[in-house]
Amino acid sequence: MPALKCSATTCIYNKQELCSKGDIQVTGNTANTADQTSCGSFQERKGDSMSNSCVSGCGCETIQVSCDASKCMYNDDRKCSASQIGIAGSNASNSQQTMCGTFRCK
C-alpha cells in the first residue's frame, strides 16, 4: 500500500493531510496528465461535519488505492503500485478539483 499525503484539506476524510477513509479511488481512465485525474473518494467537508468524528479514528499513513488511470505507470491491475502517492486539491469543493500528483504516463 502506498504512503499517502493529501493536501485536499477540505475533504471530510482528511485528517492532518492523511486519509481516514481506509481506501481511495483515483479516477481518470483516459488521463494523459496528472490534472486529468481526481480522487473519486473526495467528499467536501461542510461546517464541522468532521470535527468530532473520524471514519477510522485516525489518519492513515498508508492506504489502499484503487486506480482507474489506465495510462499511469503505477497502475498495476487497477491498484496503485507507487511507494508514495500525493493527492492535491487544497481548496477543492468537489472531486474534479483534486488530482493524483503521482500520476506518470506510461
3-class secondary structure, 41: coil
Domain for residue 75, yes or no? Answer: yes
Tally of domains within the chain: 1
For 85, the enclosing helix (H) or strand (E) is: strand 84-88
Domain for residue 106, yes or no? Answer: no
Place of cell 483516459: 30
Confirm if 70 and 4 have CB atoms less than 8 A apart.
no
pLDDT over 90 for what percent of the chain? 83
List phi, psi (to 5°) of 34.
Answer: -60, -40
Domain for residue 76, yes or no? Answer: yes
Domain for residue 29, yes or no? Answer: yes
pLDDT, tens digit, 9 for 90 and up, residues 68-97: 999 999 999 999 999 999 999 999 999 999
Domain for residue 93, yes or no? Answer: yes
Look up the pTM and report it.
0.87
Q: Given a cut of 70, is residue 21 above it in pLDDT?
A: yes
Domain for residue 57, yes or no? Answer: yes
Full domain range(s) for residue 8? 3-100
Domain for residue 105, yes or no? Answer: no
Domain for residue 46, yes or no? Answer: yes
